[in-house]
Amino acid sequence: MSTENAFRSLQTLMIHSTGFPHPTMRNRPEFFGIDATEENIKKFMSLGTCKLFPEQVQIEVFGSKAESPIHAWELIRSRFQSFVSDYTFAFMESKVRSLPATKLPACTKLEETLRNQGNEAMEKYLEHYDELCEESVAFWRSKSDVYKISPDQMEQAVRASFPSRSKLRDSFRFDVRYFDMVAPEFLGQANSIDALEKAEVIEACNKVAQEAGHKLQEEVDGFIMEVATDLENKTRSALKSLQESIASGKWNQKSINSVLKFAEGFKEINFINHTDLQTFMDEFKQQLEGYTAQDVKNDEGLATSLDNFLGESMNFLENLAEADKSAIRDSFGNMGKARKVRPF
């Protein structure tokens, strides 16, 4: 199996975007009917972004921030972005994300859940939009003295900034697209054109197909090395987080369980078959399971043992990263097979 085909069989490419109406007001003096002098421009810029529906307005309308559909959409965006950050990898200069095939069911399930939540929040937003606008006007009229303008000037500027109700529904967006990427195939025939044109078209298409195939292969080869680095960084980050929480004294069994959960799911995101790192994670998980927060806190010797264990693990990961920087990937899934390094 070629590198390209192996890569395609173990991952899905995706793009995603999330959006919702959270309007702002132009923060320039001329928008408020004031001369755009250098002094006025600096003064208005120093006031920062003017969100028309700040938290205070949302609380007035919905009773609490937690009940606000704007806050709901912020959480939806955050949850999906967190999943993307944890389980996908940048591909083709970050134009798209690569999702390991093992994580596709979880991604589609999360997508469905968040889309349903988004639809409910959208309907709530639309239902209360007029009320939001009126509360916004009242809120910003009370802030007019900060801008050194009259309440009427402020109200005029605020009302001019509200999005049209007719366009609101189209402003909500939770879009996830999955696709595959392949190079063009060689063209064998083109029956709809005459013989001379047919020969020219076939030659041109085959040339493009060959060049595109080489380019895609190069993209995949480079991507595999980037994924290896990303996997190593994610692993170091998980271990470092545990080390730092223990050093600060602000840790408990959840701190250990969080790293164990990462180790348990590592195989699902290791779709490039990074053998050294997978072996490390399997053995690391097995040994970390032998520690509990309560025992470590009550046993100084066990605390020293855990500290040494984490230190040796971090050293191994640092050495692994340095080795991968100089390694040449000889075929798909053979990251570091020439090395025989035992972490423990």
Q: Residue 331's pLDDT is what?
A: 42
Phi and psi at 50, nearest 5°, equal -100, 95
The per-residue pLDDT of the chain, averaged, comes to: 81
- pLDDT higher for 280 or 190? 280
Q: Residue 109's pLDDT is what?
A: 94
Mean pLDDT of 66-92: 92
Lowest mean pLDDT among 46-50, 82-86, 326-330: 326-330
Contacts 24+ apart (CB under 8 A), 237-245: 238/262, 238/263, 239/310, 239/313, 239/314, 239/317, 240/314, 242/310, 243/310, 243/311, 243/314
Q: Residue 135's pLDDT is what?
A: 96
Residue 328 has pLDDT above 50, yes or no: no
Are 162 and 21 contacting, i.e. CB atoms less than 8 angstroms apart?
A: no
- Compute the distance between CA of residue 282 and CA of residue 284 in angstroms, rounded to an integer: 6
- Compute the distance between CA of residue 90 and CA of residue 77 in angstroms, rounded to an integer: 18
Are 119 and 109 contacting, i.e. CB atoms less than 8 angstroms apart?
A: no
- pLDDT higher for 268 or 172? 172
- pLDDT higher for 62 or 320? 62
Lowest mean pLDDT among 15-29, 38-52, 166-180, 302-316: 38-52
Mean pLDDT of 47-65: 90
Mean pLDDT of 77-94: 87
What stretches of 183-272 show up as alpha helix (H) in DSSP?
195-248, 253-269
Element (H, E) at 60: helix 55-62
What one-letter code names the amino acid at 132? L
Residue 36 has pLDDT above 50, yes or no: yes
Q: Residue 117's pLDDT is what?
A: 97
- Compute the distance between CA of residue 183 and CA of residue 211 in angstroms, rounded to an integer: 9
The DSSP bridge partners found for residue 96 are 91
The backbone region for 187, taken as left when phi is positive above 0, alpha when psi lies in -120 to 50, beta otherwise, is beta
Full-prediction pTM beyond 0.75? no
Mean pLDDT of 80-84: 93
Place of tokens 């085909």: 5
- Compute the distance between CA of residue 58 and CA of residue 65 in angstroms, rounded to an integer: 6
Q: Residue 337's pLDDT is what?
A: 43
153-184 pLDDT, tens digit per residue, is 889 888 988 999 998 999 999 999 887 766 55
DSSP state of 271: T
| Confidence grade of residue 115 (pLDDT, cut at 50, 70, 90) | very high
Mean pLDDT of 263-270: 86
Residue 125 has pLDDT above 80, yes or no: yes
Residue 344 has pLDDT above 50, yes or no: no
Mean pLDDT of 45-51: 74
Mean pLDDT of 120-128: 97
- Compute the distance between CA of residue 338 and CA of residue 318 in angstroms, rounded to an integer: 17
Write down the domain spans for the chain. 3-179, 230-326
